[in-house]
């Protein structure tokens, strides 16, 4: 049976109960192997030659309706209700079909009020969520954080993660170890359960844990699943994409701009590039004289052009390109990099993960050469490279200080860098010798492609963001129309909620708690 508790309601009684039971409030700091959190034991072992498995952690488990109800009393978008499921022992977040549903978790408010001990970001580097929901609604999430050392929500304080395709219990790790801003005392955080919810769902949240390292987090998560009879790694959700079997040496989605390959390929290439979704592009066209697709770039920041692989797939002009088989996109090109940054970014979409964003990009560098070069865009580290390739946004340079010409000779996908480099060698040898188009190049179009769908993808032009600490700053193409969903627009540079004083003494405790309830009630979301 579910006991409903509206998100906007925080009673003084609940806070009194929480404070008086703070010793046994299900916040665990495990110091020995035999101690448990939520009925789950952590083994005290070292995994191989890797990092030691620490049993020191902070776990917020939800055993009854009143534990940490105040944790969920922050601002929300498209989370319509929070209730407690007494049978499952979890909080249920009702999420509506939307883009970017989120809820704020008030770690800072509870610690400032003395309800929980502060959580050290310097000590605990991995955040883990134990959840269950229908992953057909989406699998990509984000975690925006604040600390006392680094207040405010912004893109530089954004950690992305991916759920498994499962409709059973699962845990997901959010690794903050590589973010230089994850330091000091953890304050309020924004939990973007999904970047996009494709349908209405009930999102079950069983615990939030803070761990010293990934090994410790995985050990806890595995034991938690085992205690609930779930086999770790078993994905029971819908199948996405094709299997990981080898793709061989042949390229996929090869588009070659060469008259010797046939005029059909030129027409295909012209259909690939969307000449309307561009920035800082003076002109682009298939040039039969140079056997290339020519892009003329004018000075400015972040020039880009969109490549419509998804649209060509839908029109059956090319066959689908499965991400599981093809990990490298190779672009053969010539350009003068003297007036450019020499670096660029490729944003991608797939039929599983639509929309552009900082979680779906790959950075690359050019050679300082005006001769033919082969740019390999390696998607191997991209967690969201899943399903079939859809449209891509080619941000050819971060900035351009002088008029620049980019000649593209072919674009293709390969299983790995080795296969891509082998093809590049064949192409170089053939293009230098000329002659008949070689049979080993699997380009076999039989007719001009059908009309490309005219529907545009989501809006891509957005103000520049600070980046993710990698040094590669770029415009975020995932801007939303609603400024209320922009994490950077959610703060005034200070803590979002008042500091709650801790009053020592039994006679003053109840009065202080009532004062907390009144103050926090005034600070509810709008």
Helices (H) and strands (E) in the chain, counts: 7, 30
Rounded mean pLDDT, 300-308 = 94
Report the alpha-carbon distance of residue 492 to residue 45 in Å, rounded.
45
pLDDT tier at 53 (50, 70, 90 boundaries)? low
More confident call, 196 vs 521:
196
Report the alpha-carbon distance of residue 159 to residue 143 in Å, rounded.
5
Report the alpha-carbon distance of residue 462 to residue 480 in Å, rounded.
9
Report the alpha-carbon distance of residue 403 to residue 296 in Å, rounded.
7
Q: What is the pLDDT of residue 257?
A: 84
Assign residue 292 a region: left if phi > 0, alpha if psi is -120 to 50, beta otherwise?
Answer: beta
SS3 (DSSP) at 174: strand
pLDDT tier at 437 (50, 70, 90 boundaries)? low
Whole-prediction pTM value?
0.54
Q: What is the pLDDT of residue 472?
A: 35
Phi and psi at 88, nearest 5°, equal -85, -15
Mean pLDDT is lowest, of 100-114, 237-251, 387-401, for: 237-251
Instruction: Return the structure tokens found at 322.
Output: 């499965």
Cα separations in angstroms, 122 against 87, 212, 347, 399: 36, 9, 32, 36
DSSP string, 413-426: EESSHHHHHHHHHH
Angle between helices 12-20 and 506-522 (to 10 degrees): 130
Return the DSSP state at 32: S
Rounded mean pLDDT, 88-117 = 93
More confident call, 429 vs 205:
205
pLDDT tier at 68 (50, 70, 90 boundaries)? confident
User: Structural domains in the chain?
Assistant: 2-238+483-522 (2.60.120.260), 252-433 (2.60.120.430)
Q: What is the pLDDT of residue 357?
A: 81
Is residue 7 over pLDDT 60? Answer: no
Mean pLDDT is lowest, of 152-156, 166-170, 482-486, for: 482-486
Rounded mean pLDDT, 277-291 = 91
Is residue 305 over pLDDT 70? Answer: yes
Report the alpha-carbon distance of residue 241 to residue 243 in Å, rounded.
7
Is residue 282 over pLDDT 70? Answer: yes
Percentage of the chain lying above the pLDDT 90 cut: 45
DSSP string, 240-290: -S-------SS-EEEEE--GGG-HHHHHHHHHHEEEEEEESEEEEEEETTT
Check: CB of residue 125 under 8 Å from CB of residue 213: yes
Using the structure block, give the residue that is written with the tokens 């949240």. 205
Q: What is the pLDDT of residue 65?
A: 79
Q: What is the pLDDT of residue 488?
A: 39
Q: What is the pLDDT of residue 436?
A: 54
Q: What is the pLDDT of residue 291?
A: 85
pLDDT tier at 353 (50, 70, 90 boundaries)? confident
More confident call, 276 vs 491:
276
Report the alpha-carbon distance of residue 480 to residue 461 in Å, rounded.
10
Percentage of the chain lying above the pLDDT 70 cut: 67
SS3 (DSSP) at 328: strand
- Structure confidence by residue, pLDDT tens digits, 148-163: 999 999 888 999 888 9
Check: CB of residue 413 under 8 Å from CB of residue 279: no
Rounded mean pLDDT, 309-317 = 91
- Structure confidence by residue, pLDDT tens digits, 460-482: 333 333 333 333 334 445 433 33
Is residue 374 over pLDDT 70? Answer: yes
What average pLDDT does the structure give for the chain? 74
């Amino acid at each position: 049976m579910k006991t409903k508790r509206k998100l906007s309601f925080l009673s003084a009684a609940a806070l009194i109960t929480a404070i008086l039971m703070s010793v046994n409030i299900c916040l665990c700091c495990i110091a020995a192997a035999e101690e448990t959190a939520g009925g789950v034991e952590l083994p005290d072992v070292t995994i191989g030659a890797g990092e030691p498995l620490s049993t020191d952690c902070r776990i917020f488990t939800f055993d009854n309706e009143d534990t940490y109800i105040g944790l969920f009393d922050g601002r929300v978008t498209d989370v319509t209700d929070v209730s407690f499921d007494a049978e499952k022992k979890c909080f249920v977040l009702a999420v509506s079909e939307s883009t970017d549903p989120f809820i704020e978790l008030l770690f800072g408010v509870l610690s400032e009020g003395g309800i929980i001990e502060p959580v050290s970001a310097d000590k605990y580097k991995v955040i883990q969520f134990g959840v269950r929901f229908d992953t057909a609604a989406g699998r990509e999430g984000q975690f925006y954080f604040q600390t006392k050392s680094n207040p405010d929500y912004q893109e530089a304080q954004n950690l992305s993660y991916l759920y498994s395709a499962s409709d059973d219990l699962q845990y997901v790790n959010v690794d903050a170890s590589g973010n230089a801003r994850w330091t000091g005392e953890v304050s309020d955080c924004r939990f973007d359960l999904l970047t996009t919810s494709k349908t209405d769902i009930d999102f079950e949240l069983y615990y939030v844990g803070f761990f010293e390292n990934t090994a410790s987090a995985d050990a806890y998560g595995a034991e938690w699943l085992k205690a609930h009879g779930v086999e770790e790694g078993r994905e029971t959700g819908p199948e996405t994409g094709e299997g990981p079997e080898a793709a061989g040496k042949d390229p996929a989605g090869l588009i070659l701009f060469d008259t010797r390959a046939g005029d059909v390929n030129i027409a295909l290439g012209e259909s690939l590039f969307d000449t309307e979704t561009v920035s800082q592009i003076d002109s682009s066209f298939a040039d039969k004289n140079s056997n290339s697709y020519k892009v003329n770039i004018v000075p400015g920041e972040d020039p880009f052009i969109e490549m419509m692989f998804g649209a060509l797939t839908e029109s059956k002009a090319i066959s689908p390109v499965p991400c599981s088989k093809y990990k490298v996109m190779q672009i053969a090109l010539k350009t003068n990099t003297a007036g450019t940054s020499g670096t660029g970014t490729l944003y991608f979409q797939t039929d599983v993960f639509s929309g552009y964003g900082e979680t779906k990009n790959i950075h690359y560098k050019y050679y300082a050469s005006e001769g033919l070069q082969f740019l390999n865009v390696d998607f191997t580290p991209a967690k969201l490279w899943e399903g079939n390739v859809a449209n891509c946004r080619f941000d050819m340079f971060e900035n351009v200080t002088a008029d620049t010409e980019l000649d593209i000779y072919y674009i293709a996908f390969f299983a790995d860098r080795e296969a891509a480099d082998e093809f590049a060698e064949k192409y170089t040898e053939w293009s230098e010798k000329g002659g008949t188009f070689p049979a080993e190049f699997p380009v076999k179009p039989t007719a001009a492609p059908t009309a490309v769908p005219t529907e545009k993808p989501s809006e891509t032009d957005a103000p520049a963001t600070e980046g993710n600490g990698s040094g590669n700053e770029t415009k975020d193409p995932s801007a939303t129309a609603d400024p209320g969903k922009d994490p950077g627009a959610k703060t005034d540079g200070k803590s979002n909620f008042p500091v709650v004083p801790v009053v020592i003494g039994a006679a003053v405790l109840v009065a202080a708690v009532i004062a907390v309830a009144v103050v926090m009630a005034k600070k509810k979301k709008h």
